[in-house]
Amino acid sequence: MTALNTYVFGGGSAESTPTVLAIHGLTGHGRRWEPLARHLGGVRIVAPDLIGHGRSPWRPPWSIEHHVRALSAVLDEHVPDGRPIVVAGHSFGGALALHLANRRPDAVKGLVLLDPAQGLDPEFALEVATDSLDNWDYANVDAARAAKKSEGWADVPDDIMEAELTEHLIPRPHGQVGWRVSAPAAAASWSEMARPAVLPPPGVPTHIVVADQVQPPFVRPAFLEACASERGGDVTVHHADCAHMVPFLEPELTATLIRSLL
């Protein structure tokens, strides 16, 4: 099983401090959750780099099942008393949070899903995966910054953008730069996001935040309809007038929803 590089933000001990497992999205990394810690005083945020991302191993397999096994091991390591915790996930991380909750219902007492990406149209997933591979590297830092701004980061605060470039951009062949992510792993993740959507386990309180500026939406209407009909009051849907990077663009909302489940 792959051991994930994991960051812990916030003070306090694992035994006495409320803990959140925070799962980043595709092409992200665990340090993206550090700004949220400023809004979650008194809460411990456990934030791993997913397989193929950041400083975790890049070797396959990259399936949802392998991601979930690795995340389950993070839970066991960082929540030693085995108490159930809140899991927050953004984008692909939201899909993984759902699968983790279904695999480990004993360990998850609540879910905060920030524009979760699952059940995507296969043609859309193919198009985006192909385009990302065709445009994986950038001529320089300015080109990488411009690409981020065109991909839903236009309203992300400048300090967070610059921290992303510093932490996550690495040299690539031929004098170019690219993200600290395995391109094959990223492409494979689009296939995983085209798998059928899964619902939260029955009885697990779940907040879903839909980023209304994302078109076509990552949160598919069929998923919301299934949550309403099959999970009822366990699931609450929130709409945010923002682009996809909900943890950066709506940190107060994100923190409030997490606190409501602690």
Q: What is the pLDDT along the chain (262 residues), one digit of tens a residue?
A: 689 999 999 977 878 899 999 999 999 999 999 999 999 999 999 999 999 999 999 999 999 999 999 999 999 999 878 889 999 999 999 999 999 999 999 999 999 999 999 999 999 999 999 999 999 999 999 999 999 999 889 999 999 999 999 999 999 999 999 999 999 999 999 999 999 999 999 999 999 999 999 999 999 999 999 999 999 999 999 999 999 999 999 999 999 999 999 9
Q: What is the pLDDT of residues 124-166, one digit of tens each?
A: 999 999 999 999 999 999 999 999 999 889 999 999 999 999 9
Is residue 203 classed exposed, middle or buried when 0-12, 13-18 and 19+ CB atoms within 10 A define those classes? exposed
- The closest of 140, 179, 235 to 28, measured between CA atoms, is 179
Other residues' Cβ atoms within 10 Å of the Cβ of residue 77? 14
- Distance, in Å, from the CA atom of 134 to the CA atom of 143, rounded to the nearest integer, reads 15
Cα distances (angstroms) measured from residue 113 to each of 2, 57, 91 = 24, 25, 8
- The closest of 53, 30, 90, 27 to 245, measured between CA atoms, is 90
- Distance, in Å, from the CA atom of 43 to the CA atom of 258, rounded to the nearest integer, reads 10
- Model-wide pTM > 0.85: yes
Q: pLDDT value at position 13? A: 81
DSSP codes of every residue in 200-218: PPTT--EEEEEETT-SS-S
- Distance, in Å, from the CA atom of 73 to the CA atom of 58, rounded to the nearest integer, reads 17
Domain boundaries, given as residue ranges, for the chain: 6-118+195-261
Q: What is the pLDDT of residues 168-190, one digit of tens each?
A: 999 999 999 999 999 999 999 99
Other residues' Cβ atoms within 10 Å of the Cβ of residue 191? 16
CATH superfamily ID and name for 6-118+195-261 = Alpha/Beta hydrolase fold, catalytic domain (3.40.50.1820)
- Distance, in Å, from the CA atom of 136 to the CA atom of 143, rounded to the nearest integer, reads 12
